[in-house]
Structure 1
Amino acid sequence: MQTVLGALAPVLLLIATGWGLATYRILPRESWSGIDTLSYWILFPAVLFTNVAGADFSSLDLGSYAIALYGALALLCILLVPLGRLLKSVLNVDSPSFSSIFQGTTRWNAFIAMAIASNLMGQTGLALTAITMALLIPIMNVLSITMMTVYASSSRLSLGALLWGIIRNPFIVSISAGLLLNISGLALPPVLADYTSFLGRAALPLAILSVGAAIDLNSLRRPGPRLLVGLGMRLVISPAIALFVATVLGLAPETTLMLVMAFAVPTAASAYVLAKQMGGNAPLMAELLALQTVVSAVTVPLWLLLLI
């Protein structure tokens, strides 16, 4: 219990600090877009590159982990499609709203997951999060955009534009570069190694502060059925599926913990951007983001207690 609280307390305090900075306009909400841009394009790629380049993957069964990751995601999607039909017939949930529930259930906040994994497993946790991002980011982009196109958007995104967006994703680029350096056995010159390390140290605190700054508690006063469905699917059903798959495949404790965390943390803030751009229910997406982030302060520790 003490280990779980010790890993989560700094993350929750940073989220609360970000919320306070934005709510009391010490740093106004409109100022956070610059911080988000800096984290996305510079700071987070630096921490991903550094940790993947220096990670020792020899003791990890990454093949089984990839199978578990994609297996859990597939089971979740198989469950979501008939759920969409049920929600439409019972609760009159329209297609744009279901597309937001889909994103809110399948996407994950890698910043929060990395902070928790780092506190619990050190460099191994950072490296595992980076590998999880490399495996999930491309498929999640394809899945989310496909679902948005089918259920919400009146426009169609070309395959070329989709592939180009994935290829130029700074997380994919930095992870790929780190893997190439790791495989080559070469080392960065000390000056560059220190430079990327310094940049990376700022990534997690700023990213978690931004998560807190994005929370709007006013939207959570009357959570309706759609919100509660999105909440339960992401924070209860999703990690339960991940734990089931990990148990069936007999994953090691470290990879089991990372797998469950990837499916237990709240959804990614980028889901709101996509919902807004492609005709989804953006207000519902924003409410899901806020509610999941707040409630995950209770559910994530409970999942961790089952694993540690």
Structure 2
Amino acid sequence: MHHILASIWPIFVLILAGYGMKRLNFPSDGFWYGAERLNYFILFPALLFSSLSTAPLNNPALPRLLVAIILVLSVLGLGLVVLRYVRKWPASHFGVLLQGVLRFNTYLGIAVIGSLYHREGLSMALLMIAILVPIVNFISVLAFSAGQHTSVRALLAPIAKNPLILSCLAGIFFNLSGAELQWGTDRFLTLLANTSLPLGLLSVGSALQLHHIRGQLTTLVLNSSARLLMAPLITFIVARLMQLPSIETTILVLFFALPTAPTAYVLSQQMGGNSDLMASIITFQTLFSALSLLLVLALVV
């Protein structure tokens, strides 16, 4: 437990620092908007591209991780679809709740796994990101469009413009091409990538909106429990049934124990979802995960 605490407390201190800085209006409101866009469109895509362009895509773990991820997403997704028809949720509400259960905070995941498992764990984590990011974003867009007369172009546009998906695909294609980063390009991308995580964690803290939590506590508790407790339990069962190695099991479980992505708020706004509820879920899950991650890691590490 001691090494787990030592690995993750700096991460949550950065998140709390971001929250405090935003409340104190430091450096300014305009800074946080620019920082989020810079990280989302340039710094974090640079990290994904540089890592995936040199990742061992011939890793024998990749096919079984893909199967495990699809199984977990299928169980969670089908459960949500059943609940939608039982509770008669509109697409604007369903899409938000689905994002709360299926999406994950990539910044937090990379930071925690890098602290615990260093280069070996980070390499495997990036393989999972390359699988999860396109699939989860597609499912999220589909959830908001369910039951609406939406063209294929309108459905695919948010996915085709997603910088995380594009950088993952670009990194994979570059890797498979056999090309190499030359003339200091690898160093340039590394400098951008090294800036991404601390800025991303500060931005996560700055986006927390505690005032949104009031009045929606039951929904927040149920959705957060599904994401932070039930999802990792289902993942652990799937990993055990597939007899995955210990490190693969741990990292896979950890990904499904992460709070939902802050960028889920942006997609909710773009797709006409209940963005206030999405902001509440992001805030509540991020705070709740400080305890739930400790519990999950204590059980599987």
TM-score in same-fold range (> 0.5): yes
Paired with 2:16 and 2:44, the residues of 1 have a C-alpha distance of 21
CA shift for structure 1 position 210: 0.7
Q: Distance in 1 between matches of 2:300 and 2:12?
A: 20
Mapping 1:41-56, distance limit 5 Å: 41-56=41-56
Structure 1 Cα separation of the partners of residues 281 and 259 of structure 2: 9
- Aligned residues of 2:47 and 2:192 also touching (Cα < 8 A): yes
The equivalent position to 1:137 in structure 2, one of 133, 138, 146, is: 133
Give the Cα–Cα distance (whole angstroms) in 1 for the partners of residues 95 and 155 of structure 2: 18
The answer to whether the Cα contact below 8 Å between 1:114 and 1:125 also exists between their aligned partners in 2 is no
- Preserved contact between residue 51 and residue 123 of structure 1 (Cα < 8 Å): no
Aligned to 1:32: 32
The answer to whether the Cα contact below 8 Å between 1:51 and 1:126 also exists between their aligned partners in 2 is no
Q: How far apart are the structure 1 equivalents of 2:173 and 2:138?
A: 24
Q: Contact 2:145/2:155 (CA < 8 Å) preserved in 1?
A: no
> How far apart, in 2, do the equivalents of 1:94 and 1:168 lie?
25
CA distance in 1: counterparts of 2:256 and 2:83, whole angstroms: 18
Q: Residue 161 of structure 1: CA displacement?
A: 4.1
Unmatched 5+ residue regions in structure 2? none
Matched, 1:118 2:111: no
**Contact 1:47–1:199 (8 Å) recurs in 2:** yes
Cα deviation per residue 1:267-299 (whole Å; 9 max; x = unaligned)?
112221222222222111111110000000000
Partners of 2:144 and 2:157 in 1: how far apart?
Answer: 18
Shift in CA distance, 231/121, structure 1 to aligned 2, threshold 3 Å:
same
CA contact (8 A) 1:55 1:124 kept: no
Give the drift of 1:28: 3.5
Alignment correspondent of 2:208: 215
Question: Which deviates more, 133-142 or 2-11?
Answer: 133-142
Matches within 5 A, 1:290-301: 290-301=283-294
Q: Which amino acid aligns with 2:268?
A: A
Quick one: which amino acid aligns to residue 264 of structure 1?
Answer: A
TM-score, scaled to structure 2: 0.92
CA shift for structure 1 position 168: 4.1
SS at match of 1:122: helix
Q: Deviations over 1:50-79 (max 9, x none)?
A: 222233355541100000011100000111
- Comparing 140-149 with 202-211, greater Cα deviation is found at 140-149
Q: Which residue of 1 aligns with 2:245?
A: 252
2:267 to 274, 279, 290: 274
The answer on 1:77 being equivalent to 2:84 is no
> Structure 1 residues 146 and 177, CA, compared in 2 at 3 Å: closer, same or farther?
closer
Aligned to 1:108: 104
- 1:255 and 1:17 mapped to 2: Cα distance? 32
Equivalenced residue count is: 301
User: What is the alpha-carbon distance in structure 2 between the residues aligned to residue 287 and residue 138 of structure 1?
Assistant: 24
1:103 CA displacement: 1.6
- Offset, 1:223: 4.3
Q: What amino acid is aligned across from residue 283 of structure 1 in structure 2?
A: D
Give, as a single letter, the amino acid of the residue that structure 2 aligns with 1:256. T
TM-score normalised per structure 1: 0.90
Alignment check: 8 A CA contact 2:94 2:143 kept: no
For residues 242 and 219 of structure 1, what CA distance do their matches in structure 2 show? 30
**Preserved contact between residue 141 and residue 158 of structure 2 (Cα < 8 Å):** no
Distance 1:149 1:185, change over 3 A: closer
- Aligned pair in 2 of structure 1 residues 116, 54: CA closer, same or farther (>3 Å)? same
Structure 1 residues 243 and 95 mapped into 2: Cα distance closer, same or farther (>3 Å)?
same
**Cα gap change, 1:172 to 1:296, in 2 (>3 Å):** same
* CA gap 1:58/1:150 in 2 versus in 1, 3 angstroms: closer
Gaps of 5+ in 1: none
Letter in 2 for 1:141: N
Q: Distance in 2 between matches of 1:83 and 1:165?
A: 26
Q: Distance in 1 between matches of 2:145 and 2:155?
A: 12
Deviations 1:232-287 (A, max 9, x none): 11111111111111111111222212211221111112221222222222111111
Aligned residue in 1 for 2:224: 231
Distance 1:239 1:51, change over 3 A: same
What one-letter code is carried by the residue in structure 2 that aligns with 1:48? L
Instruction: Give the 3-state SS of the residue equivalent to 2:294 in structure 1.
Output: helix
Question: Cα 1:240–1:30, aligned 2, differ >3 Å: closer, same or farther?
Answer: farther
